[in-house]
Structure formats: structure tokens, C-alpha cells
């Protein structure tokens, strides 16, 4: 099994001559995925502002305005959740598909949107289930939740590669493949920690330039793991 350093080297090699396309894909998909989260975050900020004012100190018109703002924030939060569900989850599968293909070929921009075109309902349903299961495991005990999140991390890659696999079998396959391997994925993620610290010096702007490299390394990890279990 390759070490984190070797996986990163393979990832960097796979991006040669293809980095700027990968950068464009990550940029567009990140912007799409962020819309839902931004709506939810904004709605929460609106509620926080309303909650800062004591209702007993409000005039009737202010109370009416606060009610309108509260209602609007709830609607915005619901729209944000639905956007994450129906767009963000499909985007995640498409991202994985693009970087899997990047390991041994030159993917197209359209490959990044395969999550919308192939088994769309299965994709969004499975990733919703991942979120629910992760939350439940975390509520039970924090550490098992973290461990399970590493096990579930390869499920979008499995969905991206296998149009026939069911949600149930994707979870089963991920469990088998990640048995005894979660620590390796953790170390791979941790190996980018220094890079992310450097990106903080650019006020976070550098992160978007780092993400193609991170995604390429994660795809290399998955492909190696898949070949081992072939």
C-alpha cells in the first residue's frame, strides 16, 4: 500500500497538463455546493439578529417586522437544505467521477456533472443517508461518528463508478474496503495540514488552488484501494 507521500506524488503527476481544468471544475463545483450552505448560514444570522432584541421592548410594527424576518429566514433555511440535497449531493458524486477519471485519462468538464445524469435519485438519497447516519453515530458517541465518516468517505466514489450498485450495497462495499484502512485515509488528509496552514496566510484564497491536488490524492487513494479489492 502506498504511503501518503507516494499518493500525493501520483496525484501531482496525474494533474500535469490538466491542472487548470481541474481547478475550473473544483471552482465551479465549490461555488455550486456553497450556495445551499450560504442560504442556511444567512438564515441563521437573521434569526440571531432577531433574537438579540427583547420582544417586550419592541413596538407592534417592530414585532411584525421581526415575525416577517423570522419567517423569511425559515424559508431561506429550507431552500438551502433542499439545494444541498438535490444539487450539492449530485455535485459531490460528479466531483468524484471527474477525479477518478483524472487518475489515468483526461476527463472532460461534463464528467464533473455525471451525478445529475446517472442514477440521480440514488445519488442524492445515498448521500442524504450518509449525513443522517453520521449525525446519529456522532450523537451516540463522537469518536464512532468520526470513524464512520472516514468509512463513508469513499461511497461517492463507489456511486460514481458503478451505475448499477444500490445504496445498500454501496454502504456494504465501503465497509469492506475501508476495514483496517481508515487510519491511512486520516493520515493522507493530515498530510495536507501544512498546506492548509499556508493557505490561511493568503486569507483562504489559496485553498481553492490547493483543492485540485487534495481531490486528486483522494482519488488515487480510492483507485488503489479498489484495485486491491478487485
pLDDT digits (tens, 9 = 90+) for 82-139: 999 999 999 999 999 999 999 999 999 999 999 999 999 999 999 999 999 999 998 8
Residue-level pLDDT at 223: 97
Q: Which residue has the higher pLDDT, 60 or 165?
A: 165
Give how many domains the chain has, as a whole number: 1
What is the average per-residue pLDDT within 14-33? 96
**Position 74 pLDDT exceeds 80:** yes
Question: What is the grid cell recorded at 223?
Answer: 483507485
**Contacts of 65 by beta carbon, 8 Å cutoff, 6+ apart:** none
**How far is 158 from 153, CA to CA, in rounded Å?**
10
Neighbour-count burial for 149-183, b at 16+ CB within 10 Å, e otherwise: bbbbbbbbbbbbbeeebebeebbebbeebbeebbe
**Confidence band, pLDDT 50/70/90 cuts, at residue 69:** confident
**Confidence band, pLDDT 50/70/90 cuts, at residue 203:** confident
Question: What is the grid cell recorded at 78?
Answer: 429550507
Residue-level pLDDT at 143: 85
**How far is 18 from 184, CA to CA, in rounded Å?**
26
Residue-level pLDDT at 134: 93
Instruction: Give the N- to C-terminal CA distance of the chain in Å, as an integer.
Output: 14
In percent, the amount of the chain with pLDDT more than 90 equals 71
Q: Which residue has the higher pLDDT, 214 or 2?
A: 214
Q: Which region among 29-38, 169-178, 208-217 has the lowest average model confidence (pLDDT)? A: 29-38
User: How many C-alpha atoms does 98 have within 13 Å on its Cβ side?
Assistant: 30
Beta carbons of 89 and 128 less than 8 angstroms apart: yes
pTM: 0.90
Beta-strand ranges (E) seen in the chain are: none
Q: Which domain holds residue 32?
A: 4-228
Question: What is the grid cell recorded at 188?
Answer: 493522507
| 106 sits in which H/E element | none
Q: Which residue has the higher pLDDT, 151 or 74?
A: 151
**Position 227 pLDDT exceeds 70:** yes
Amino acid at each position: 500500500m502506498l504511503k501518503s507521500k507516494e499518493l500525493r506524488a501520483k496525484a501531482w503527476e496525474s494533474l500535469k497538463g490538466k491542472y487548470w481544468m481541474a481547478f475550473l471544475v473544483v471552482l465551479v463545483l465549490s461555488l455550486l455546493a456553497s450556495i445551499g450552505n450560504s442560504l442556511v448560514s444567512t438564515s441563521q444570522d437573521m434569526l440571531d439578529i432577531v433574537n438579540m432584541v427583547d420582544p417586550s421592548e419592541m413596538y407592534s410594527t417592530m414585532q411584525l417586522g421581526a415575525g416577517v424576518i423570522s419567517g423569511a429566514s425559515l424559508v431561506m433555511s429550507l431552500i438551502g437544505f433542499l439545494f444541498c440535497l438535490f444539487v450539492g449531493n449530485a455535485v459531490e458524486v460528479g466531483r468524484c467521477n471527474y477525479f477518478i477519471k483524472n487518475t489515468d485519462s483526461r476527463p472532460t468538464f461534463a464528467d464533473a456533472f455525471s451525478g445529475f445524469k446517472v442514477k440521480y435519485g440514488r445519488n442524492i438519497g445515498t448521500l442524504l443517508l450518509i449525513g443522517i447516519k453520521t449525525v446519529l453515530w456522532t450523537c451516540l458517541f463522537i469518536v464512532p461518528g468520526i470513524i464512520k465518516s472516514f468509512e463513508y468517505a469513499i461511497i461517492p466514489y463507489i456511486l460514481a463508478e458503478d451505475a448499477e450498485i444500490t445504496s445498500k450495497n454501496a454502504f456494504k462495499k465501503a465497509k469492506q474496503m475501508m476495514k483496517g484502512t481508515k487510519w491511512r485515509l486520516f493520515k493522507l488528509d493530515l498530510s495536507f495540514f501544512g498546506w492548509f496552514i499556508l493557505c490561511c496566510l493568503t486569507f483562504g484564497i489559496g485553498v481553492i488552488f490547493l483543492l485540485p491536488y487534495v481531490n486528486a490524492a483522494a482519488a488515487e487513494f480510492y483507485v488503489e484501494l479498489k484495485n486491491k479489492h478487485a
